[in-house]
Chains A and B, each alone.
Chain A
Amino acid sequence: QVQLQESGPGLVKPSETLSLTCTVSGVSINHNYWSWIRQSPGKGLEWIGYIYYSGSTNYNPSLRSRVTISVDTSNNQFSLKLNSVTAADTAVYYCARHSGEVAVAHHYFDYWGQGTLVTVSS
């Protein structure tokens, strides 16, 4: 079965870079889109960005200047880097798989990781 697992430091200092990896199992990362989504404590879901297995990306305009998403097809992983973090970036970070519709405009998230809490604090 398809499984996604986030990994990375749970504590990051302000102004530093948050780095997370999502390891995908049960399916190849190829020929699909993959997203990062976060949820601040007690708040709603915020989409961060997606990557296609080929490496093409699309980011939330509100985070675009600080975000980089990359893919490692050989290890079936994709990663998130968010730089210059502040306390406002404290959140549970989820990785998720897009559904397989041809048109991106119809995509939804059919598999999610369990999420990992990242706290920004000195």
Chain B
Amino acid sequence: AQSVSQHNHHVILSEAASLELGCNYSYGGTVNLFWYVQYPGQHLQLLLKYFSGDPLVKGIKGFEAEFIKSKFSFNLRKPSVQWSDTAEYFCAVSLSGGSYIPTFGRGTSLIVHP
């Protein structure tokens, strides 16, 4: 069964700092990759997704992620975080051509200090 690992469980940054959240998955086949964000008190929202094509994916609110197939990684980045980016971030993977059910990582709690 596939699994998803998020290396950073808690990240604390100051505004304007750069962000990189790690995500690795275990499955070696063709995958679909996602990053979701959950702001305090709100529902999970899709930040960005990768199905195929350009491995550098741009999402909403200035986030981007890079798919590196050889490393089974899909790290999330943002050059300059804002206080409003304080949230929980989840990486998810689904099997392309499979059940389409995404498997989620345990999440990374990001706190941005103003």
Are A and B co-members of a single complex? no
Question: Which A residues form the contact surface with B (CB < 8 A)?
Answer: none
